[in-house]
Amino acid sequence: MFGQNWLPRVSFLVSGPEAQGSKEKSQTMSTQNADGQHPAVLLNFLSRVGLEKFYPNKLTLRSLLEINKNSINEEAVSSVKDIPWGFLRKLFKLNSECRSCTQLSDNDDDDDNLDTLDDPVGDSKVNPLDLIVALFLCADSFLQQELALKMSMCQFSVPLLLPHGNNSQSTLMLWALRDIVKEWCPHHLSESRGFVENNIIQADIPFYSFVRLKNCSLSKSQCLNHVLSFGQYNNNMFIHRDMKGVAHERNIANSLVEVCWYLPSGTENLDKFSNPVAFANLRGNICESLAQFTFLFQVSTATFVFLDEVEEEEHKILTSLQDVKSKLFFIVNRKEGNVTEDMVSVNKIQKELDLPKTSVKIKDPRVNVAGFSDKLCTAIKKSLTDVTTTMTIENMLERAAELGLSVDERTSDEKKAAQEIVKGIGVQHIQDYKNQQLHLQGVNWKRLSQLEMEECRLQEPGDLELEEYKSQLHVEKQQIKKELGKRKLSHAMKSFIDHVSTTDKDKRDFFLKWIQLQLNAHLQTAIQLPLLRHKLTEQSNKEETNINEMAQLEQALLDNSLGIEHYMREMGLIYEVSLQSRDTADEISRLPGLAAEMLLDGYPLELLDGDASNIPERWVTDVLMELHRKVGEKSRLLILTVLGVQSSGKSTLLNTMFGVQFPVSSGRCTRGAYMLFLRVSEDMQCQLKCNFIVLIDTEGLKSPHLAQLEDSYEHDNQLATFVIGLSDVTIINVSMENSAEMKDVLQIATHAFLRMKEIGKKPVCHFVHQNVGGVSAHAKTKTDRKLFLDQLNEMTQIAAEMEKQPAIKAFTDVLDYDIEKNTWNIPGLWHGTPPMAPVNTGYSEAVADLKKNLLETGKGDTGYEVSQIPEFLEWIRSLWKAVKYENFIFSFRNTIAAHAYNNVCKEFNQWEWEFRKEILSWQTSAEWDISYGDNKSDLSHLNELVQSKKIQVAEKIAVQDKIMKQKLQEYYKRKDRHVNLIEKFKTEFFNTISSLANEIQRSVDNKLDCALELRKSLKEVQDIQRNNRGMIEEQVMNLLNDCKHQTLTDEELEDEFEKMWAKVTVNVSGLKEQNIPGSIFKQLRKQLLNHNVNEELDKIGDLKDIVKEPFKVKNEHLKTNLMKNKDTKREMQSFADSVIESCTRFVHDTAKTERDYNDSFTRELLEKVDLSLPQWSKHCKPQFEFNLKLYICGIASREFLHMHRRFLSGRDPKLQLENNKPQYLSDFLDLYKKRDDCQRKANDFVRLCIKPAVEEYISRSLGIQILDQILTSCHSAEYRSRSFFHYNIQKELLQKEDFESFVKYICKYEIYVKDWIFQYILRNMSIDKTLCKLKNNNLQVIVNKITEATQQASKGKDGVLLPDNQESITKLINNMRKYLIKDISISEEAEKTTLFQIQSTCHPFTKSLIKSLGELKEQLQEEFSNCEDITETLNKLPIKPQDELFKRMFGCGQQCPFCNVPCEADGKEHEKHHAAVHRPQGLHRYRVVATEKLVPTLCTTSVHSKCKFKNADTNWKYHPYQKYTKYYPDWHIPPDATIEASDYWKYVLVQYNERFAREYEAKPADVPEAWRRITKEQALKGLKEAFNIK
């Protein structure tokens, strides 16, 4: 161990009060003079470049990672204060040119001269060394490390001793350099292809220092750069005065010591030195920086002093050095001219120090710097051969302390704790250590993942019944979780958690950094992990790879890797399993908050554990939700993912792009996906439409070593589908070098994109081709791109085939992809051969360009929504779930998509109702027009009227159709409703609108025809009535004449009247009854025209007599091959029964209305039968259909005949006359007695003419009003969408706990729904007397209208009252009729009857009329409020709300072929039927053939298993469930969302198992034990879950 003994000797300079305050916890020393004063030069400089507020150490790494406007558009550096930021930005993207941006860009060449004149010191320039020193002084510990790391990647020298302004104080930058790890290949190892990887400060590397005296004209740095350069690469590791922008004088960088390393690549003729060498360079002369010089001399293998001559002071210093023999070299720049004078001082000191001649190197003025550096090189090489001991940088701190230099690192508690933990590993194998200390992520966790996978795939059920197997898997899972939950917190984890739980973020950061450093050190030395990795790469690069050996190596590598991520993973699992045991300790429940904090601090979070192929769902959920809360629920995320083959530079790409620190190649051997949060600055949040950019880095895709093993395609596909599914932007990293590899990646990616298209997620995708040389790229691109596109298309086709999407042929069918815009060529990372190669500026620029583009896509001109964390989590869950099934697309269920679908359905239903309502209202008035309006029209006129109405309605429907389609179009343009997820339903919805329009058109036409029929029959009735009335009235007058001259008592008069009445009416006949059965039979014959059944039809006598026996399926109904099958027959019988039942229901409902029979009823009935037939027609002979229809028509003929008779009797002339009899008698008596009959006449008029019209008026629009009430009131959520309707029905069933109801619901679904709806309306209408209110409202309206009309009618055109005579009464009535023509029709016959021989005059009659109207109103009001029988009202309405609601809710009426669950899809024209929960198949009579036991399996389980089924459709041959779509292509049966989702039906089966068995004549099902434990509450909960009800 190092560094144990240095602590006491280091003199820290932290003494000022400030330093003890805020910065004490930081290990970085603040830079002050011993007396606490900051040197003025330093402060001046800092304020000039605008860094003073960050001094000291206040600039954090975190603050630089934020995404702000400079991340997209880098502004040109326009003031000196911008220089540091420009430099940092460039450095962070690894641009090796960053040091040259230390001057302002001259944008005005003309001013150049003036500028320099005015500003001789060049205020617009900053010396890069000053800048670097300033930045290091301002940076906090972690930024310092990052700066050093990035600088060393650019092959810049890095600070070793950092000066504190212009004084002799310096800090040894031990901590800052700690993170630099380098790889090199010393020549003695190159034979064995070995290599070394080490932390640069821990490696034993010969150390050479270069210093100068005051008088030195040779550029030391330039010389060194030459020494370090090799071949064609000319790198300026050290800044020197001839570099661009450097001329400026140094302000604060004097005494700075920089260091850099020469590292051999292992190739003999490329390497200048065969072993690594360190070069330190002291800025400024040794007199100014004596402490630094002394330090360097002491720690160096050798020190080279550059000089022209030696001055006295220097002489003194040099001669005081000890032990200089092989350690001191003089580099003398001999100038032309006064050579000897200078050389005297050199010779003198050489002698005095007793240096060998070879230690003095003289540069001849004729030799240039490059040539001279060779000489230098040789000297160094020679010195290297003598090196016996070297000192690591880590060990230098003792010397530093002795010399009063400070060190940027000290032993802290965090370091000790980290050491403690790593020490705990001891000499154990890493795997053993992990098993012991990180045991949760061991075998059990992996087994758990396997179980979860098996739960979805059900591959090995053995002999077990599927549901039994499923619940066994579930039980095993629970057991493992329980077991895991019982384990105690391991020692290491306890310590780890304790330390990361600290509230002091700095402490946590240090702790984690230390752990990482220590672990790496341990793995490097004890395990030789890098070597292992190297071997593996070697293996995989071999021509003939040995798979076994590779697998072993891979395993060894996995076993031996250990990093913070393992501890973090364990932490997540501790939380995950502790939730099982419920007694979650406080500290454990705090973990998500802690992890959220760390995520916000820029630490990555493991999202998917690729080793176990599992996601700790609760952990991830809770951590992210915690984060969501922490940021005030402002967590819109833009997800950016990189996918590509292992070691293709993905992490490097992200790191370069965003300045983050995903572990690069060396780091990690875990597999999976990690995410990292980048804050977006306030001002950019709006523009980017997000609060965070989340980077997801993936590990282990297509790991070449594993590629040939097991089912790696499967594994990769899962990973790719998962992360692509999560991301908004995906970068696919492909290297053009390896085409096989590229193909693999492309295939996986296209496959994933294809799946995303299916589920409606549309990521932006970029292909990045790495290692494409800058120049050649341009020329080659055209053909290359073509080639690439061809390959993409080829891969798309393969994937499309696998997903059974033959329509998709090209990649552009899958994604909006522009080969020009979305393909990027990026040059190789290194400019030259590592390890000495700097990062290629071209790489840096290309990556910056890509980043700019990516962020601009994020800006979202495409308008897609970026999700918040809760939604993102939902995506995680549903994607991961679906990924586990074999059929991703079928298995994908996402509540966001479900909500989106539900929302559009709700709106759609609303629009549909508006559409229907509009047309229904129109239809009502049109019907009225035809039936009653325009009294004079004859038949041909009426026909014309109906035709023109039909044209009108067609136009109206077209308008509505267009409006609705527009609404839908608008909806799909919305940005806030996730419409992309329901894109695939768009066509369905459009088709539904079209079919809706057709349906409405048909139905309206039908209604209009009926109205015409009614009109015709009314006319007939009227004619008869008129005749009869004439006859009667004549007779009454005759009788009156006869009696006039006698004085008769009332009784006598009545007697006379009776006699007369009997005589007159004896010959009045009733209406003629039509042959209804005959008409029905005609319709049936017409419909069966093509069925070749004429002969049999001819045999049939009267329809209504033929069938009274229950319908039986007979053998001759079935196709021959099925005849013998008992099950087929049973199923067919149950089918026939249900058809008959629902048809009977239809017939009854129709017959209940007070209408006449119409042929359209029969047509509709037969269509209904036709609709249900196709399902069965393939199994039965035409005879079946014939018999069935005949049977149903038999029922219909009886009912419809009944209906017809009822209708006739209501209009029977004889009856009518009888009705009028009392009135005629009264008239007769009044006339005889010459009594004033005014009020009675008015009353009769109101009763016979007004009342029926008013009642008709009230019920005419009542249907629509009831519907409106139900559909738009807030109580009626039930009807908003079909799935919610289903949920409600099932919820109620459960609460009712009535077996019969369940049976009815399952077996007679349609009837059940009809009844349910009817009951619902009844309930709704009786609450608060709603129906009565509606009626009263209508009554009020119409009575007002009539009263008003009466008053108006009593005046002539001129507004003067009609003359008060008898004739005016007729005028009055005619006027009224005119005014009310739009609302009611006053029957002419009734009018004539009631006004027969009226004696009164107009004025009193009017008065009486108004009085009588008032009475009518009261009377009706009373009637309404007394009437309890809502049923009757409903049945008589011309527009029946129950039918409309049923149409709306019943949907397509299809039922699952396995379990009979009804389809819940909205819209009639959907492509696939689906239901939220399926039921155990036994509930629909399914039984095990051999045992007669009901089948408990859910179809949602079966269709994802390896099981088979057989039924009539498969011709009783076994067929795999997984391929059920062969027989039922219209059904989409996804797996249950959760195991609990189907609890409802499991519960029902358990509750009524025996009764169902009895009902179905089978044996009870064997239900899994676990089902018996399901409670009613759980059942309801499951139902809610299945329907996404909160």
Ligand X SMILES: Nc1nc2c(ncn2[C@@H]2O[C@H](COP(=O)(O)OP(=O)(O)O)[C@@H](O)[C@H]2O)c(=O)[nH]1
Run of H or E residues at 340: helix 339-353
* Interaction partner, residue 902 (ligand X, Zn ion, Mg ion, none; CB < 5-8 Å by kind): none
561 lies in the site for Mg ion, by CB under 5 A: no
DSSP letters for 1450-1484: HTT--B-TTT-PBP--SSTT-SSB--S---BGGGG
Query: What is the rounded CA–CA span in Å between residue 1273 and residue 1468?
Result: 24
Out of 346, 1465, 1539, 1583, name the contact with Zn ion by CB under 5 A.
Answer: 1465
Count, residues near Zn ion per rule CB under 5 A? 11
Q: Of 1106, 1175, 1172, whose CA–CA distance to 1138 is shortest?
A: 1172
533 lies in the site for Zn ion, by CB under 5 A: no
> Which residues is 609 bridged to in the sheet?
614, 672
Residue closer to Zn ion (CB basis): 496 or 1284: 1284
CB-based closest residue to ligand X: 649
Q: How far is the CB of 673 from Mg ion (least distance, A)?
A: 11
Query: What is the token pair recorded at 716?
Result: 């990769």
* Interaction partner, residue 1463 (Zn ion, Mg ion, ligand X, none; CB < 5-8 Å by kind): Zn ion
Query: What is the rounded CA–CA span in Å between residue 1469 and residue 1515?
Result: 29
Q: How far is the CB of 562 from ligand X (least distance, A)?
A: 18
Count, residues near Mg ion per rule CB under 5 A? 1
* CA-derived radius of gyration, the chain: 48
Of 102-110, 562-570, 1253-1261, 1468-1476, which segment contacts Zn ion by CB under 5 A? 1468-1476
Q: How far is the CB of 771 from ligand X (least distance, A)?
A: 5
Neighbours of 1358 (CB within 10 A): 6
What are the two backbone dihedrals, phi and then psi, of residue 1553, each rounded to the nearest 5 degrees? -50, -55
Residue closer to Mg ion (CB basis): 651 or 691: 651
651 lies in the site for Mg ion, by CB under 5 A: yes
Q: How far is the CB of 665 from ligand X (least distance, A)?
A: 3
Run of H or E residues at 1544: helix 1543-1560
- Cβ distance 28 to 141 under 8 Å? yes
Tally the residues of the chain: 1590
Out of 164, 1473, 1485, 1532, name the contact with Zn ion by CB under 5 A.
Answer: 1473
Q: How far is the CB of 158 from ligand X (least distance, A)?
A: 18
- Cβ distance 332 to 240 under 8 Å? no
Q: How far is the CB of 1471 from Zn ion (least distance, A)?
A: 9
1542 lies in the site for Mg ion, by CB under 5 A: no
1229-1267 burial, b at 16+ Cβ within 10 Å, e below that, comes to: bbbbeeeebbbbbbbbbbbbbbbebbbbbbbbbbbbbbb
* Interaction partner, residue 99 (ligand X, Zn ion, Mg ion, none; CB < 5-8 Å by kind): none
Query: What is the rounded CA–CA span in Å between residue 15 and residue 24?
Result: 10
Residue closer to ligand X (CB basis): 223 or 695: 695
Which residues, other chains included, contact 1158 with Cβ-Cβ below 8 Å and sequence gap of 6+? Answer: 1009, 1010, 1013
DSSP designation for 677 = E
Q: How far is the CB of 1467 from Zn ion (least distance, A)?
A: 9
* Interaction partner, residue 1434 (Zn ion, ligand X, Mg ion, none; CB < 5-8 Å by kind): none
User: Residue with structure tokens 């909006």?
Assistant: 816
Out of 579, 819, 1100, 1452, name the contact with Zn ion by CB under 5 A.
Answer: 1452
Q: How far is the CB of 570 from ligand X (least distance, A)?
A: 23
Q: Indicate the SS3 state at residue 397.
A: helix
Q: Indicate the SS3 state at residue 642.
A: strand
**Distances in Å between the alpha carbon of 1463 and those of 368, 1309, 1475, 1482, 1585?**
89, 11, 5, 18, 18
* Interaction partner, residue 649 (ligand X, Zn ion, Mg ion, none; CB < 5-8 Å by kind): ligand X
Of 623-631, 651-659, 1416-1424, 1498-1506, which segment contacts Mg ion by CB under 5 A? 651-659
Report H helices in 460-602: 466-486, 491-500, 505-522, 529-541, 547-560, 564-581, 586-589, 591-600
Q: How far is the CB of 741 from ligand X (least distance, A)?
A: 12
Q: How far is the CB of 729 from ligand X (least distance, A)?
A: 17
Residue closer to ligand X (CB basis): 250 or 702: 702
Q: How far is the CB of 1450 from Zn ion (least distance, A)?
A: 10
Residue closer to Zn ion (CB basis): 398 or 1466: 1466
Out of 824, 1287, 1458, 1587, name the contact with Zn ion by CB under 5 A.
Answer: 1458
User: Residue with structure tokens 């007199």?
Assistant: 287
Residue closer to ligand X (CB basis): 830 or 922: 830
Query: What is the token pair recorded at 1341?
Result: 């309206």
Query: What is the token pair recorded at 183?
Result: 């790889």
Q: How far is the CB of 651 from ligand X (least distance, A)?
A: 3
Report H helices in 818-973: 841-858, 869-884, 888-891, 895-931, 939-973
Residue closer to Mg ion (CB basis): 604 or 1213: 604
CB-based closest residue to Mg ion: 651
CA atoms within 13 A on the CB side of 907: 17
Residue closer to ligand X (CB basis): 154 or 829: 829
Query: What is the token pair recorded at 974?
Result: 């919305």
Residue closer to ligand X (CB basis): 646 or 857: 646
Q: How far is the CB of 662 from ligand X (least distance, A)?
A: 7
Residue closer to Mg ion (CB basis): 557 or 1140: 557
652 lies in the site for Mg ion, by CB under 5 A: no
What are the two backbone dihedrals, phi and then psi, of residue 1145, each rounded to the nearest 5 degrees? -60, -45
- Cβ distance 166 to 42 under 8 Å? yes
Distance of CA 1304 to the CA centre of its chain: 38
Residue closer to ligand X (CB basis): 844 or 1553: 844
Run of H or E residues at 280: strand 277-285
Residue closer to Mg ion (CB basis): 668 or 1260: 668
* Start-to-end CA span in the chain (Å): 59
Of 643-651, 737-745, 1138-1146, 1244-1252, which segment contacts Mg ion by CB under 5 A? 643-651
1499 lies in the site for Zn ion, by CB under 5 A: yes
Residue closer to ligand X (CB basis): 342 or 741: 741
- Cβ distance 90 to 151 under 8 Å? no
Residue closer to ligand X (CB basis): 63 or 267: 267
How open is the CA angle 390-396-398, to the nearest 5 degrees? Answer: 130
* Interaction partner, residue 647 (ligand X, Zn ion, Mg ion, none; CB < 5-8 Å by kind): ligand X
Of 341-349, 784-792, 1028-1036, 1447-1455, which segment contacts Zn ion by CB under 5 A? 1447-1455
Cα torsion angle, 1018, 1021, 1027, 1028, sign: negative
- Residue numbers of the site for ligand X (CB under 6 A)? 644, 646-652, 664-665, 770-771, 828-830
> Which residues is 76 bridged to in the sheet?
none
Of 74-82, 649-657, 842-850, 1474-1482, which segment contacts Zn ion by CB under 5 A? 1474-1482
Out of 77, 203, 1449, 1459, name the contact with Zn ion by CB under 5 A.
Answer: 1459
Q: How far is the CB of 763 from Zn ion (least distance, A)?
A: 31
Residue closer to Mg ion (CB basis): 328 or 829: 829
Residue closer to Zn ion (CB basis): 301 or 1283: 1283
Q: How far is the CB of 893 from Zn ion (least distance, A)?
A: 15
Distance of CA 965 to the CA centre of its chain: 26
Q: How far is the CB of 851 from Zn ion (least distance, A)?
A: 47
Query: What is the rounded CA–CA span in Å between residue 59 and residue 143?
Result: 7
Query: Which residues bind to Mg ion, rule: CB under 5 A?
Result: 651
Report the interface residues with Zn ion, using CB under 5 A. 1452, 1454, 1456, 1458-1459, 1461, 1463, 1465, 1473, 1478, 1499
